[in-house]
């Protein structure tokens, strides 16, 4: 018997989002190569930022998983287990600004707050919140 628990549900970054970030790296590198010094610096910084996001998506594609004993949150720094007892609140924060609506899944775990967008989870944050509330003991 192993110590590793199989997640009952998991949400991952869609491959299309990762591909779009990789295209951002290519565009920024192209701009850096054809531009002057200032453009090289700015496009280089942007390319590095996109590259970090692509690496995060490749090494930790599953952002959120649910097991019997709680949640598993993943990112560049690794995976973190959060017991259901430590989860204070699960909600969706929806804000409208400049004609755009931003929706984030917010998981409040004491001193930590984990935020996920639909681009992190691959589906509507409302659906994920509903599933988490249903699975929470």
Is the pLDDT confidence value at 34 over 60? yes
Neighbour tally for 21: CB within 10 Å: 21
pLDDT tier for residue 37 given thresholds of 50, 70 and 90: confident
Joined tokens for residue 13: 């970054």
Joined tokens for residue 82: 């959060």
pLDDT of residue 83: 92
Q: What is the pLDDT of residues 65-78, one digit of tens each?
A: 998 789 999 887 88
Q: Write the DSSP assignment of 65-93 as a string of letters.
A: EEETTEEEEEETTEEEEEEGGG--EEEEE
Q: Are 46 and 29 in contact (CB under 8 A)?
A: no
Enumerate residues 6+ apart whose C-beta is below 8 A from 8.
66, 67, 68, 135
pLDDT of residue 125: 95
């Amino acid at each position: 018997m192993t110590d590793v628990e199989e997640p009952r549900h998991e949400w991952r970054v869609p491959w299309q989002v990762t591909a779009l970030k990789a295209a951002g790296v290519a565009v920024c590198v192209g701009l850096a190569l054809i531009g002057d010094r200032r453009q090289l610096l700015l496009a280089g910084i942007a390319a590095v930022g996109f590259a970090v996001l692509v690496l995060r998506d490749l090494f930790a594609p599953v952002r959120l998983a649910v097991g019997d004993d709680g949640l598993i949150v993943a990112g560049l720094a690794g995976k973190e287990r959060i017991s259901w007892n430590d989860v204070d609140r699960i909600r969706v924060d929806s804000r409208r600004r400049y004609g755009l609506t931003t929706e984030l899944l917010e998981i409040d775990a004491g001193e930590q707050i984990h935020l996920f967008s639909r681009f992190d989870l691959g589906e509507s944050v409302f659906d994920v919140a509903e599933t988490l509330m249903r699975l929470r003991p």
